[in-house]
Amino acid sequence: MIETGSLIRSLSGRRAARNFHTFVINEIGHAIVTGAFSIGSVLASDALMMEQYGVSRTVLREALKTLEAKGLVEARPKVGTRVSPRSRWNFFDPQVLAWHYYAAPDPELYQSLFRVRGALEAPMIALASRHRTAEHVRLLKYWCHQMETAGDSIEQFGLACLEVHGVIAESGRDPLLRSTLGVVELTLALALTRDQAMPSASYRDKAAALFVELTAAIEGGQAEAAAQLYEACRQLDQSQTV
């Protein structure tokens, strides 16, 4: 599984360590999501892909099994491995989401991402306001400070912002809500690099200030105020993307 934060790190050109298995998964998955391998098409034969990617049959087969588990492909006897319809893709898979960063802009998908963020993170904010501990608050303040002092580093800002979302998820004591972090990471990456409404530095300053206020509201157990501030954060991100 892709590590949380990998997409944000890639924005600064940093490449994650990878093995042959992850390399093949990324190459084929990226090609499917970006449209290089069209929906309904049949992938090349095992022999051709083994030569193209420089891997063994075992590595290739394991990679294809992983992609099938993500809903991207389907192996059919006497036909081969076919690219599945988008309706079968697992959009909560962080790697599938990350590949969409490199695809052509899709306003409908972006709107869906922000609807999901609103639906899943809103109750998380309420739970965090109720269950936060002193350690959670300390971590929130630390990561907010990292956002404020990130300067021109998109990576530092994005990772710190993602950590804030993660701490809020942890403090809410609901492990399933943490699954929204893949959605959050993609929307953050888009907001940090595809902004049109304002310069990126202005966006980062506004976002950091909102998260400082949100942290204070969570610390004070002010669920209603926290919910309003979170919604302002979400709308700010959305204004940079959709």
Q: Are residues 50 and 118 in the same domain?
A: no
List of long-range contacts for 96-100, beta carbons under 8 Å, 24+ apart: 96/29, 96/33, 96/70, 96/71, 96/72, 97/7, 97/182, 97/183, 97/185, 97/186, 98/2, 98/6, 98/7, 98/182, 98/185, 98/186, 99/29, 99/30, 99/32, 99/33, 99/34, 100/33, 100/186
Q: Are residues 162 and 203 in the same domain?
A: yes
Domain assignment of residue 141, yes or no = yes
User: Which residue among 88, 118, 140 closes a domain?
Assistant: 88
Per-residue model confidence (pLDDT) at position 187: 95
Per-residue model confidence (pLDDT) at position 106: 94
Say yes or no to pLDDT of 60 above 90: yes
pTM exceeding the 0.75 threshold for the entire prediction: yes
Q: Are residues 71 and 167 in the same domain?
A: no
When pLDDT is averaged across residues 57-80 and rounded to a whole number, the result is: 95
Domain assignment of residue 97, yes or no = no
pLDDT digits (tens, 9 = 90+) for 5-33: 999 998 877 665 568 999 999 999 999 99
Q: What is the CATH number of the domain that holds 189?
A: 1.20.120.530
Domain assignment of residue 35, yes or no = yes
Nearest one of 166, 133, 161 to 146, comparing CA atoms: 161
The total domain count for the chain is: 2
Per-residue model confidence (pLDDT) at position 178: 78
Domain with 177, as residue range(s), is 105-239
The proportion of the chain whose per-residue pLDDT surpasses 90, expressed as a percent, equals 81
- How does the average pLDDT of the chain come out, rounded? 92
Q: Are residues 79 and 110 in the same domain?
A: no
